[in-house]
Structure 1
């Protein structure tokens, strides 16, 4: 506002000064005109001073109002600052508390992180160790697979050999069973013949007793006694020969049976050995 009033004053001064310059330029500088212009100028100056004073009073009033408002605003700002400072103090205290808690949490986290790093190192070492063990196990597994493959091949060969041997055993078993059946039949025949021979021996003994009784009865007749003795001797000799032949046959059959049992025992041992091997 002051600047605007000053500008207005300058404009009016220029406006009043211009006719005066024109008059002087035209060569008519009269005292009456000068007085008129001076009065008009003074009136304008007084008017401007009055306006200036009014304006200054208005400005002073506005300035005081502004100062009051500014003071109120300053007090409000101070109160707001105090309130903000209190809030800041509270926030700082809370922040300090939180910071203290966070520092403790950070310390615990650092300790936990150190433990985790140590545990990670242990786990890494364990992983390396386990990796090495796994590699060793894989190598062993490869070797075992190769051994298993060889064993399977050997088992296939042994299985094939066992099947061939089984075929041979079946053939031998059939032959042995046939021989055993023949031997049993032969033994039964020999046993029946031996039984007959024993029966004949009993009959011969009975006849010998009868002949002895006859010899005792006909003792006076020496010729009859000698003939009876010769017949008895021949019968005894014949009986002994038959018994010897039967005993030899029985011994042969028993030897055949022993050989048959021995072959069966050997076959059983071979089969058990092959089963254990497989």
Structure 2
């Protein structure tokens, strides 16, 4: 599967401001960068740093006035897809060291608050079968409602309200998995069938000694998804973090399938 990606960002900064940008699809993790180009408006500073887990890169910028970013890429997705429901869990005491942090509560994912619920609702299941049941449960109980959440909305808020957008669905899925002692992390991605077109959020769960993408919204498929980056939750993989006030002028994300 080949994906063509086009992103346009236009923000206005009232003063010199530090920005952390993460919009480029990663090269690796079941995908290969075929070609890419990024054009930025004039900045006072530009430097690349590694992203979380060494998957992808972030860009430190310092800009003022109108900040524009145009990014385009072609990505080849070569990610094998397994039926999640058939995968085995890894016992916590056998987990690799780099997965352990993804069992812990985080800013948007207070997983310890949902342990009693998970035990009562999914206690008869284990491993991938439990993950599959959780995906079905979210799909049945939650509504995708644009504008129903904010940058402060946690998975617990979404759990109560039973509505949200992709990042909220991903946070709930991550919480339920972590409450089951299954490592789970947040993945910022590009996917062609997302409605409305935008940056998309999925969860990755650690089963059978590997990470597997799952989408609680049901809009994206792992073998047609390009990962931008991963982290504990949305706070670690925001596409643009501003360390000062900024105003959105325009933004667009377009992802389409391409011929090999």
TM range (shorter): under 0.3
TM-score (ref. length: structure 2): 0.15
The structure having more radius of gyration, on CA atoms, is 1
Q: State the structure with bigger RCO (CA 8 A, min sep 6), 1 or 2.
A: 2
* Greater helix proportion: 1
Relative to its length, the structure with more strand (as a share) is 2
